[in-house]
C-alpha cells in the first residue's frame, strides 16, 4: 500500500516537472546488500549470457560493474555518505538492463564502420523503457519477492534505468530538462558517458575534452563534468580500455 503511494507520488512529481531527488530516496532506504545477493547474481548471469557470439553481454557486464564502483567512489569524493554512495552505485549497476531484451543486431557495429542502421537508431534508445520489464522477469524467474523496504532500492534502480539518457537541454528520451535532473543523476550520466567512450581506447584527456566540447553541449551537466574531471585527477582512477569493449557501441 505505502509502496504504491510512494511510487505514484514519484511518478506524478516527475510528470509535473518536479525534480525527483535521488539523495532523498537513498536516505530513506534501509538498504541491505546481502538481501539482494541472489537477485544481483541472477541479473549478472542473464547479462553475461546475452549474445555470446559477439560477447556483447560480457562487455555490458564489465561496463555495468565499472560504473557501479566508479559512481560509488565519485559520490564519496563529492562528500556524500557511504550509505548513499553504496545504494546509488549498486542501483546504477542495473541501468542498461533493458538491452538484454533487445535484438542483439542493434548493438553490432565495428569501429571501422561506424554507420548505424535506421533500425538500430530507432531501437537502441528503447532500452531505458525496457529495463524495468527485464528486472521484473528476472525477479519472477528466481522467485525474488521484494519486501516493502527492498522496493525502495528497486524504485531507485528503476528511476536510474528509465532516466540515464536524459539531457539538461530537454532533448533526452523523456524530456527532463535543467534542474529536473538532480545532481546525482547528472553525475551518473557523466560516469556512463565517460565509460562508454573508453571503448574507443581514447586517452582520458581526449575523452574529457570531448565531453566539454561542442558535441556534448546540452547533453551533459558541465558542473558534473568538471567535478568528474577533478575526481579522476585527484584519485588517479584511470582504467585501460576493456578489450571486450573495442568495436562495441553502446
**Residue numbers of the site for Fe ion (CB under 5 A)?**
96, 192
Give the C-alpha separation, 27 to 67, whole Å: 21
51 or 96: CB nearest Fe ion: 96
Closest contact distance (angstroms) between CB of 149 and Fe ion is 27
Give the C-alpha separation, 51 to 151, whole Å: 30
71 or 180: CB nearest Fe ion: 71
Closest contact distance (angstroms) between CB of 190 and Fe ion is 12
144 or 228: CB nearest Fe ion: 228
144 or 197: CB nearest Fe ion: 197
150 or 162: CB nearest Fe ion: 162
Closest contact distance (angstroms) between CB of 250 and Fe ion is 6
155 or 192: CB nearest Fe ion: 192
Closest contact distance (angstroms) between CB of 236 and Fe ion is 23
Closest contact distance (angstroms) between CB of 8 and Fe ion is 26
Could you write out the DSSP letters of every residue in the chain? -HHHHHHHHHHHHHHTTPPP-HHHHHHT----GGGGHHHHHHHHHHHHTS-TTTTHHHHHHHHHHHHHHHHHHHHHHTT--HHHHHHHHHHHTTTTGGGGGS-GGGG---TTS-PPPHHHHHHGGGHHHHHHHHHHHHHHHTT----HHHHHHHHHHHHHHHHTT--TTS-STT---GGGS-HHHHHHHHHHHHHHHHTTT--HHHHHHHHHSGGGTTTS-HHHHHHHHHHHHHH----PPPTTTTT---
Closest contact distance (angstroms) between CB of 101 and Fe ion is 13
Amino acid at each position: 500500500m505505502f509502496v504504491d503511494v510512494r511510487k505514484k507520488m514519484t511518478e506524478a512529481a516527475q510528470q509535473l516537472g518536479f525534480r525527483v531527488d535521488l539523495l532523498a530516496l537513498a536516505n530513506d532506504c534501509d538498504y541491505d546488500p546481502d538481501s539482494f545477493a541472489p537477485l544481483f547474481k541472477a541479473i549478472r548471469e542473464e547479462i553475461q549470457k546475452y549474445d555470446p557470439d559477439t560477447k556483447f553481454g560480457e562487455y555490458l557486464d564489465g561496463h555495468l560493474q565499472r560504473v557501479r564502483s566508479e559512481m560509488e567512489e565519485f559520490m564519496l569524493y563529492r562528500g556524500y555518505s557511504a550509505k548513499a554512495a553504496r545504494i546509488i552505485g549498486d542501483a546504477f549497476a542495473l541501468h542498461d538492463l533493458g538491452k538484454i531484451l533487445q535484438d542483439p543486431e542493434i548493438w553490432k557495429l565495428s569501429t571501422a564502420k561506424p554507420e548505424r542502421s535506421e533500425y538500430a537508431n530507432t531501437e537502441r534508445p528503447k532500452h531505458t523503457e525496457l529495463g524495468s520489464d527485464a528486472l521484473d522477469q528476472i525477479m519472477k524467474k528466481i522467485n525474488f519477492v521484494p519486501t516493502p523496504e527492498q522496493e525502495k532500492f528497486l524504485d531507485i534502480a528503476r528511476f536510474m534505468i528509465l532516466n540515464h539518457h536524459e539531457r539538461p537541454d530537454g532533448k533526452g528520451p523523456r524530456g527532463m530538462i535543467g534542474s529536473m535532473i538532480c545532481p546525482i543523476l547528472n553525475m551518473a550520466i557523466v560516469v556512463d558517458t565517460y565509460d562508454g567512450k573508453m571503448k574507443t581506447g581514447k586517452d582520458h584527456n581526449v575523452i574529457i575534452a570531448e565531453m566539454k566540447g561542442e558535441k556534448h553541449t546540452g547533453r551533459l551537466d558541465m558542473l558534473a563534468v568538471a567535478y568528474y574531471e577533478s575526481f579522476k585527477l585527484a584519485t588517479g582512477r584511470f582504467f585501460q580500455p576493456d578489450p571486450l569493449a573495442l568495436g562495441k557501441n553502446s
